[in-house]
Amino acid sequence: MGSSLTVKVYLPCENGQAVGQQEIEQALWHLSQLYPIPAPRFRRLSEEDWAHAWKKHYHVLRIGRRIVVKPSWQTYTPRPDDVVIELDPGMAFGTGLHPSTRLCLIALEKHLRPGMRVLDVGTGSGILAIAAARLGASSVLALDIDPLAVKVARANVATNQVEHLVSVEPGSWPIAEPHRTFDLLLVNILAETIVELLHKGLLRCLREAGLLVASGIINSQEARVVEALGAQGVGLVERLQEEDWVALVAIKPQIGAELGSFQRG
């Protein structure tokens, strides 16, 4: 075999002691009785390292043709048609570094038309909702089941001065207003959740010929999502991939479209 696997864990510290260290050492001792493994190594991180270390790796990012994601603590001089999104993701997901987010931004840049009404399910840092507003959406409803994400997304929406266009609410599908419809749905969660939301009738809130951007799909799970979309009669418009991550753009059929072609034929 010769290969090794490293598992890194972060343990909270109480009274100078790492909580759980003893249990880890015991469990590893038991494992070592079955198979030789090296002793664990422990290193202490200061609070400040932990809260800010990631910021060193987070720089201005250009995504697609016009979108620029700028960490709020960095400066950037925009080019004339740049769409700049200023972000402090805090502990919420959605820095723009993850392929699933990037694929959504690329799809948004391509498919969002001015005036579209957008629903962003699982908004995280609010990155996609803000991008949609900046690209010309007339309104964006951004939802997340995580209260921390709602707080972070609201702060980012305010920083980007798009409060008049984006409302961030705790929750998911089904939404509070059952008859509200949208022109574009963004769902960057995992394949399993996308399939679940589709089964719960998510596409009811999408107008005919409206678009769904589904992302967060690891390629081994793609077939499940494609099948769930097929079962709802939606057609695939585009497939985007970066590394192992896939995003699918689908269009809701127009009632009568088939009838129309039938009559013409």
Name the site residues for ligand SAH (rule: CB under 6 A). Answer: 92-94, 101, 104, 121-124, 127-128, 143-146, 149, 172, 188-189, 193
CA distance 175 to 127: 20
158 forms beta bridges with none
As measured in angstroms, the least distance from the Cβ of 193 to ligand SAH is: 5
Tell me which residue of 240, 177, 235 sits closest to 211, measured CA to CA. 235
CB–CB of 217/245 below 8 Å? Answer: yes
**65 CB-side CA count, 13 A:** 7
Helices (H), 112-249: 127-134, 147-159, 191-199, 222-231
Residues making up the chain, counted from first to last: 265
Closest to ligand SAH by CB, 193 vs 241, is: 193
Closest CB to ligand SAH among residues 123, 160: 123
Residue 35 beta carbon to ligand SAH: minimum distance, rounded to whole angstroms: 36
**Minimum Å distance from CB 141 to ligand SAH?**
12
Please give the structure tokens belonging to residue 55: 């910021």
> Minimum distance between the CB of residue 122 and ligand SAH, rounded to whole angstroms?
3
Would you say 153 or 229 has its CB closer to ligand SAH? 153
Place of tokens 């790492």: 18
Q: Residue 91, SS3?
A: coil
Helix (H, G, I), strand (E, B) or coil at 9: coil
CB nearer to ligand SAH: pick between 71 and 122: 122
CB of 49 to ligand SAH, least distance (A): 24
CA–chain centroid gap for 27, Å, is 35
Supply the minimum distance, in Å, between the C-beta of residue 123 and ligand SAH. Answer: 5
Give the tokens for residue 57: 């790796």
CB-nearer residue toward ligand SAH: 11 or 169 = 169
Looking at beta carbons only, is 62 or 79 nearer to ligand SAH? 62
* SS3 (DSSP) at 74: coil
